[in-house]
A and B are shown apart, each in its own frame.
Chain A
Amino acid sequence: MMFIRDIFDKLKPKFSKGGRFEKFSSTFEAFESFAFTPNTVTGSGQRAYKGSHIRDAVDLKRTIITVVIALMPALLFGMWNIGHQTSVAYSLDWGFWQEFWNGFLRMLPIIVVSYVVGLVIEFFFAEIRHEEVSEGFIGTGMIIAMIVPVTVPLWQLALAVAFAVVIGKEVFGGSGYNFLNPALVARAFLFFSYPTHMSGDSVWIATPFHFTGDAVTGATPLGQLMASQPLSASAIDMFIGTIPGSTCETSVVAILLGAVLLLLTGIASWRIMLSVVIGGGLMGLLFNAIGANEYMQLPFYYHYLMGGFAFGCVFMATDPVTAAQTNTGKWIYGFLIGAFAVLLRVLNPAYPEGMMLAILLMNCFAPLIDHCVVARNINKRKKRWLAAERRTV
């Protein structure tokens, strides 16, 4: 390892102030701290408080890398499932590795496009602003690739990533200043710009390579419910994740593995995860009690298994930048995400999946929730203090 250190040490003066490549100092710093844990934590860098959300003794890169590791089970499962869905839909009888390989080849361009476009923009903004390159996109780029349909055209994905990074994040000042989750901004952009590629039943199953016949369609459980068709997948299928859906968010098992890692390392808030689950469950039970149509009578736990509920709950609602910051606020924020997600699913005919919109909506309200929680706390303490003072007088 030392020889890599030597290379960086040798190059460093050239990229420092006054050096020949001073312009690219941000790029150099990004690669250096990618390779080696820096001896400073995020926050003591070039700007006094870079990243409003860092309250820990690790720098931001190690935090983000933990999230990426937590995403791995879902990613690997998703790759296999893409191949598996193709194999089943076209009756190809592929073996396990062939299914995985096929899914891998489908997934690779999506991940590459997501990372390349996003990182090029991040590096560009960091250089013109003379700041460190923010690490947030390492996680965001992976999440974007995991929540789009496998058949998404790559140029549309590139456009969505560019939109999300510039409008969702950089205009507000970069990582830590954005109020919307950039990955969801990318998905929302795709959803509203190119709806035919993002919903319906023709987008979830990839056609095999070199295939020239008619494409097979496959509806997701949410799509079937929206069209008032009977569910073709059982609860256990949906739990394991062998159903059509966005690339890597079908398997609740794989997502739970990631959730365990995030909770053990303390990176994601258990309050938010729990309250999202409670909110969704209570809303589901409420609809069960009303029971006006078949969708409402669906057992409430089905909502946890379908669509992006589990993925959104574990990886996106818990985004420390865009979530509520106070503990009470986190309960309110999470509860409303769960409740709105189920509400949108069941009642709004235009949107089969409500998780994305529910999280984006609550992202907007998170600062207000925090403000109210803090103001209430101040008032409470003021009253207590006044009462104590009156007693002493």
Chain B
Amino acid sequence: MKNTDLIKLPFSKNNPILVQVLGICSCLAVTAQLKPAVVMALSVTVVVVLANVIISLLRNTIPPRIRIIVQLVVVSTLVVLVDQVLKAYMYDVSKQLSVFVGLIITNCIVMGRLEAFAMVQKPWASFLDGLGNGLGYSVILIVLGFVRELFGSGTLWGYPVLEKLGLYNIGYENNGLMIMPPMALILVGIIIWIHRSRNKELCE
């Protein structure tokens, strides 16, 4: 595979959320507002990139039987680091994300990339693959966070957009369903629908 494809494919035909349907749990849980969604997206990207590189460097020394344990140790270390950084510099967002930062350890995208890619590829390719998948995940999270915060709370990054536009004066109201996780699932479904109708070869 070409290096550019490693970055490009996770955005389109091999998106971790839209095509592999991985990482759905965090994608439903943290996207009620844009800010935590962006922070979560960045955290996962950092973890998956670093874990990919580290595992790729270690790949020839890891005995196959205990590879999952080794992967988990690496990922956990990185997640604890990310968690500490968030607590130190973005305490409010860290509070909002609560357990979901810790749950990056079990994020299927991270484990999936390690198992499927980093265990058998060189560090540079693994770096690009991690970056591509992390960003592919990020795009969906940010789109969801944008739509859900805009229609669910009427704000963007905490700024009351719809109120400034004066929509409430003409009878508009926030949609309560948007801030509930089921609506995130439906939105993911709609994005998948659009994605597949544009990429016919993905349809089963």
Contact = CB atoms under 8 A, between A and B. Distances in A.
Nearest to B173: A194
Contacts of A193: 175-178
A189 B177 contact: yes
Contacts of B193: 171
Contacts of B175: 193-194
A156 B173 contact: yes
Given A189-B177, A194-B175, 9 more contacts: A153-B171, A156-B173, A167-B186, A167-B189, A192-B176, A192-B180, A193-B178, A194-B173, A195-B176
Contacts of B173: 153, 156, 194
A44 B81 CA distance: 64
Interface of B: 171, 173, 175-178, 180, 186, 189-190, 193
A211 interface: no
A155 interface: yes
Contacts of A189: 177
5 contacts: A153-B173, A167-B186, A167-B189, A171-B189, A194-B176
Residue of A171, A192, A193 with highest tally of chain B CB at under 10 A: A193
Contact size class for A? 10 to 19
A260 B37 CA distance: 54
A369 B81 CA distance: 49
B134 to A, nearest CB: 30
A155 B180 contact: no
Contacts of A192: 176-177, 180
| A-B residue pairs, 8 tightest by C-beta | A193-B177, A192-B177, A193-B175, A193-B176, A192-B176, A194-B173, A195-B176, A167-B186
A360 to B, nearest CB: 12
A194 B152 CA distance: 11
Contacts of A195: 176
B157 to A, nearest CB: 23
Nearest to B170: A155
A263 B175 CA distance: 39
A189 B193 CA distance: 20
Contacts of B190: 167
Contacts of B186: 167
Contacts of A167: 186, 189-190
Interface in A146-200: 153, 155-156, 167, 171, 189, 192-195
